[in-house]
């Protein structure tokens, strides 16, 4: 797994490439927390390049969402593939996150 | 003339012993998915159901069963056939009570960072069973067309 971080207007966009799983979830978590510490408040995680997220990866997203909300910010998700959408629906996390079909949709609705 | 692959000849049993090392999980899971493809298993069921079942079972075995102890091992017994895949994942821990695992989708639990792995296994594998000690999980995935969601048992 690797990820790119960029600013698009006021939104910090994180592109996750590869699988977000137990062995690498802490890297993403720490990077987002660093950005939060640096003042960023609006976050978008783009999963266009992500094939799979395991329960640990889902847990990191839940944890980050809470921490960001506590600072008055918001974490949104975009570009979930069919399998990932299924996992979010199964776990009902689709009710917890704002999930956009694509990056533009997510950015314009912030 | 087209020759139908001999799926049964490509099926069989597989045993693996892994160190408690989270980095091995992705490699093993991909290898199992490839093995399933080679015997003609529905790729949708491999890509989602088998991946979830095996990834979560191995994660639980290493994190909570073996408590990340690198000296402890995780054993996998897998039986592949064109009709079904059976996998047993055993750790060296003290075991746990699977009945006591809370539903992570309830309003009280949905904001918790942990506790979704066993739920996901039960939702996506056709049969899930733990041994009495609670340190071995047996999972069955049945082949077939249709959507990726199995009927949880």
pLDDT (tens digit, 9 = 90+) per residue, A70-80?
999 999 999 99
**Residue B2: its pLDDT value, please?**
46
Residue A108 C-alpha, separation from nearest chain B C-alpha, in angstroms = 26
pLDDT of B85 strictly over 70: yes
SS3 A33: helix
Whether domain B7-142 has CATH 1.10.3720.10: no
**Residue B1: its pLDDT value, please?**
43
**Residue B148: its pLDDT value, please?**
52
Residue B2 C-alpha, separation from nearest chain A C-alpha, in angstroms = 33
Task: Please report the number of interchain residue pairs, chain A to chain B, with beta-carbon separation below 8 angstroms.
Answer: 64
Contact A91 B148 (CB under 8 A): no
Residue A68 C-alpha, separation from nearest chain B C-alpha, in angstroms = 13
Residue of A55, A60, A69, A82 to mutate, interface with B, max B Cβ within 10 Å: A55
pTM for this prediction: 0.90
Q: What is the pLDDT of residues B2-27, one digit of tens each?
A: 445 555 555 678 899 999 999 999 99
Write the ipTM: 0.91
pLDDT of B57 strictly over 90: yes
pLDDT, average across residues B95-111: 94
Percent of chain B with pLDDT over 90: 82
Measured on CA atoms in the order A38, A44, A46, A51, is the torsion positive or negative?
positive
Q: How far apart are CA B49 and CA B109, in angstroms?
A: 23
Contact A54 B52 (CB under 8 A): yes
pLDDT, average across residues A5-21: 95
| Residues B126/B141, Cβ–Cβ less than 8 Å | yes
Contact A66 B120 (CB under 8 A): no
Would you kindly state where each structural domain of chain B is located, as residue ranges?
7-142
Percent of chain A with pLDDT over 90: 93
Chain B residues within an 8 Å CB radius of A59: 112-114, 116
pLDDT, average across residues B41-48: 94
What domains, with CATH codes, occur in chain A? 2-108 (3.30.750.24)
């Amino acid at each position: 797994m690797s990820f790119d971080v960029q600013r698009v207007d006021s939104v910090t966009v994180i592109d996750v490439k590869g699988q977000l799983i137990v062995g690498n979830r802490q890297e993403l978590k720490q990077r987002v927390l660093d950005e939060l510490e640096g003042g960023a408040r609006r976050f978008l995680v783009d999963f266009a390049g992500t094939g799979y997220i395991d329960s640990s990866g889902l847990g990191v997203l839940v944890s980050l969402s809470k921490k960001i909300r506590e600072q008055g910010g918001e974490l949104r998700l975009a570009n979930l593939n069919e399998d990932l959408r299924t996992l979010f629906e199964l776990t009902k996390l689709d009710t917890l996150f704002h999930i956009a079909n694509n990056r533009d949709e997510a950015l314009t609705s912030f | 003339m087209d020759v139908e692959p001999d799926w049964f000849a490509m099926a069989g049993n597989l045993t693996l012993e892994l160190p408690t090392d989270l980095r091995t999980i992705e490699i093993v899971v991909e290898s199992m998915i490839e093995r399933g493809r080679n015997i003609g298993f529905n790729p949708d069921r491999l890509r989602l159901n088998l991946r979830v079942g095996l990834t979560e079972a191995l994660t639980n075995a290493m994190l909570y069963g073996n408590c990340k102890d690198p000296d402890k091992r995780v054993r996998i017994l897998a039986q592949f056939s064109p009709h079904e895949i059976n996998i047993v994942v055993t750790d060296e821990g003290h075991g746990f009570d699977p009945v006591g695992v809370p539903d992570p989708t309830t309003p009280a639990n949905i904001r918790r960072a942990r506790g979704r792995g066993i739920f996901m296994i039960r939702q996506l594998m056709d049969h899930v069973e733990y041994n009495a000690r609670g340190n071995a999980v047996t999972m069955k995935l049945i082949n077939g067309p249709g959507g990726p969601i199995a009927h949880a048992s």
